[in-house]
Structure 1
């Protein structure tokens, strides 16, 4: 997954509401997640579905490794 570019990938929720298709297109083209803010605070992350699935698989693998490491103790 590509890292977030602060100058391009952190946007106010009001901009998202006004141009959902543009945001989805940017995420599809860049493969970078986008942080949505409300009143200057992060409230949500939008990301490519394939990147999300890969992230979930990696997390599951790490949890399995952690579980097996603690099970041996």
Structure 2
């Protein structure tokens, strides 16, 4: 998810004047938009759909890292034991 500075950096005053335009742009572009005040970044606007997808991806990656960490620590469980615990 890269920012196109020509499209995705918006002064805060533009959001105040026409918030619908910014929201539509964010939803259509599937990229976050950086809001600025006096030339400095102050906030990021992102569609809820993209936010939820990013959160799901972060949760998945955390689970993968935790699983790899468990493997390195020798904390694996055999498939047979898992099936037995689950009653399968």
The structural deviation recorded for 1:32 is 2.1
The structural deviation recorded for 1:39 is 2.4
**Is 1:42 matched up with 2:58?**
no
Gaps of 5+ in 2: 74-88
Gaps of 5+ in 1: none
The structural deviation recorded for 1:6 is 0.4
Q: Identify which of structures 1 and 2 has the higher relative contact order when contacts are C-alpha pairs closer than 8 Å and 6+ apart.
A: 1
The structural deviation recorded for 1:42 is 1.5
State the TM-score, normalizing by the size of structure 1: 0.83
- Larger Rg: 1 or 2? 2
Q: Distance in 2 between matches of 1:29 and 1:57?
A: 20
Q: Distance in 2 between matches of 1:12 and 1:36?
A: 5
Q: Distance in 2 between matches of 1:59 and 1:66?
A: 11
